[in-house]
Amino acid sequence: MTQLRLTALSARTLAFCLPLKGAKYHLPAPMAWQLNDLHGQTDTVVTTVDGLEPDTEYQLSIGGDVLEFKTPACSGLVRIDDHGASAGGHDTADRAAANARAFTRAIAATPPGGTVEIPIGDWICGPVALRSDLTVLIRGNLIAPSDRAGWPKLPARSHTGRMLGSWEGLPETCFAAPIHAVGQRNITIAGPGQIDGGGSRGDWWTWPKETREDARRPRGIHLIDCSDVQLIGFAIDNAPSWTIHPQGCRNLTIAGLHISAPHDSPNTDGCNPEMCENVTFQGVRFSVGDDCIAIKSGKRGPLGESDHLAPTKNVSITHCLMERGHGGVVLGSEMSGDITDVTVSHCEMKGTDRGLRLKTRRGRGGRIDRITFQDVILDSVETAFSANAFYHCDADGHDDWVQSRDFAPISDRTPKICTITIQDVEIRQLSHAVGAFIGLPESPIGPISVQRVTIDSYAPDAVPTPPIMADHIRPMRHAGIAYEFANISAAQEIKIEDHGLSMTPERTTQ
């Protein structure tokens, strides 16, 4: 039986997956593939291919595996330069606005089920809104302008009260993303081109937590209340804030992307699905300035406002590579609408501060449950696993009512972190701790199952550091699992290869 399968498919692009045993992001060795008269070589489990013909039968073969499929039909191909867009030229607000108008005309001229193409070249372009039943084929470089003069904004709410613009889980006016869509369906954005969000050229990174012109920073791609979306094969970098932000979306596939930002760029998370259902990440490579993937479900307002909240559930993350970031896969801290049923498997994380990270605090409410982290390699990660119910975010994050280890009354603002399963993880060059799990006394974490975890080596130059962002936590170096107010269920000994030792969890956090 063939292991080969399609991850995503459009009229002219595809992503296929060959999940060989033991493979994470890379294959054990490069392999040749054949797709009718197209051919190439790949060294990754997930491979994207451009240049297919619509409504055509194909046979894909690689390593003895064969898969037959047919591409969808395309009702028409429209190029943006056919509607007045011009490549090259100076990075000016006027050129960006003119190209945005041309892009919008091209979208309007594309029949439902058709494709608008961004040809090879450098296209300075202001923010553009997408519509339903559309494929955007990026073969060149779509570049956001450095000047935000005339940049459109998304209001905090629609005329019906639905959250549109947002910031850290609350409705707020924000600048529109270079590519955005609101309430649309059947959208594909495919490569092999690139989107440059303009963060490194504008002033966006100089005011990360502030507003300008009464608005928050834009994302790189912002999809709001959309369904049946595919993001295939392109690169996106230099976003003004979060790189890709699906908000209130359903049935979203993200395959074969390369998401990047400078390591010191503020809050440039890779992809943050928020209040979303049925999200699949496969074969995505991250190297960003904050968390690689941060799964969220909104935040209660300061007075407990919750009408904008919805759950995030059914998220699958496989065969991804996280090369740098604050966390590989992070849940929270905005989790007031609940986050459930998240699986991370067959991934590799290199140089991230943490591998799996859960974070919340009193006042948030909400529940995190049924989280699985398995068959992952963690290389040069400071703390492998953490769950922190005392995360000191927001202006009152260090206040005693947030950080006190005394029991507090339980209410709808009491967060809950429930079942976490961690198994078959290899850790190399560990710095601070295998795990740190700090729950609330009134709402302990768990059950947590940690099984078949191996430490291959420690980082020799590691400096003792608190493994989580909470008050009253002692620094750690080369530590095991530390916990307070947490139920470590069926935890087996952690094998330490380079010392021939093992360790079991201890209450050593304070």
Which residues are part of the catalytic machinery? 290, 326
DSSP 3-state assignment of 118? strand
Return the number of other C-beta atoms located less than 10 Å from residue 43's C-beta: 12
Q: Are strands 312-318 and 277-282 parallel, antiparallel or unpaired?
A: parallel
Longest Cα pair distance anywhere in the chain, in angstroms? 68
370-384 exposure pattern, b = at least 16 Cβ within 10 A, e = fewer: bbbbbbbbbbbbbbb
Rounded Cα–Cα distance for residues 407 and 432 (Å): 28
- Give the CA distances from residue 28 to residues 45, 255, 295, 317, 379, in Å, rounded to whole numbers and listed in that order: 9, 20, 30, 20, 17
DSSP 3-state assignment of 101? helix
Q: Which residues contact 37 (CB under 8 A, 6 or more apart)?
A: none
Q: Are 120 and 191 in contact (CB under 8 A)?
A: no
Q: Which two tokens stand for residue 159?
A: 């005329």
- Give the CA distances from residue 9 to residues 6, 74, 323, in Å, rounded to whole numbers and listed in that order: 7, 12, 27
Q: Are 21 and 30 in contact (CB under 8 A)?
A: no
Q: Is 445 exposed, middle or buried (0-12, 13-18, 19+ CB in 10 A)?
A: buried
- Give the CA distances from residue 419 to residues 23, 58, 113, 341, 447, in Å, rounded to whole numbers and listed in that order: 27, 43, 42, 10, 5
Return the number of other C-beta atoms located less than 10 Å from residue 443's C-beta: 19
DSSP 3-state assignment of 139? coil
Query: Where does 393-493 show beta strands of DSSP type E?
Result: 416-417, 420-428, 433-438, 445-455, 479-484, 486-488
Q: Which residues contact 99 (CB under 8 A, 6 or more apart)?
A: 80, 85, 86, 123, 124, 125, 126
Q: Which two tokens stand for residue 152?
A: 């459109």
Q: Which two tokens stand for residue 115?
A: 């494709």
Rounded Cα–Cα distance for residues 125 and 143 (Å): 6
- Amino acid code (one letter) for 40: G
For the sheet containing 46-50, what is the strand order? 5-9, 13-17, 46-50
